[in-house]
Every structure is written in structure tokens, then in C-alpha cells.
Amino acid sequence: MSRITLDTPKVVTKVNTFTEFSIKDIRIELNNTARFIVILYGADNLVDVTEIAMTTEEYNLWGSDDNYVINFLKTKLQSS
């Protein structure tokens, strides 16, 4: 079936509540940045998928502790 155009555009605002996340994919540019594809879950169902990027300064703080990434993502998700 082809798409049908509305006579007047409809704007829908959704409120999503999520309580958990998982990391689906990580793209790294060595010594520069990282991008994370994050899946958000609420009440045992998928709520949204988002991408979160690390700046060079944030990336340089990563070091060898992967807990840094988890805390970084939690902070970004809770502040957005």
C-alpha cells in the first residue's frame, strides 16, 4: 500500500519511561571518540534506541576501566 498524505500534519508527543538499558553496538575511532548504540527498556519491553557519543575529552578519561563507560552512559541518559 502506498503512503497517503494528511491534509493537516499531526504532531504527537510521546513520553517514554525507561528503567534499564543495554549496549548494542560500539563504534570507536581510536584515540579520539566512541559512539554507543543504546537500547532502552521499561517494564520488560523495548522503549527506544538511541546513540550516545563520547567527546575526545570524555574518551581520553576512559582508560582501562569499562565501568567508566557504564557510568558515562547512565549520566548521559539521566541528564537528557
Q: pLDDT tens track of the chain, all 80 residues?
A: 788 888 999 998 888 889 999 999 999 999 999 999 999 999 879 999 999 999 999 999 999 999 999 999 999 999 97
- Which cell numbers hold the place of 34? 566512541
* Domain assignment present for 5: no
The parent domain of residue 42 ranges over: 20-79
Domain-embedded: residue 40: yes
Within-domain flag for 24: yes
In a domain, 11, yes or no: no
For the whole model, what pTM was predicted? 0.79
What's the total number of domains in the chain?
1
> Which three cell numbers, joined as nine digits, stand for 18?
525507561
CA distance 59 to 34: 7
Note whether residue 15 is domain-resident.
no
Is residue 29 one of the residues assigned to a domain?
Answer: yes
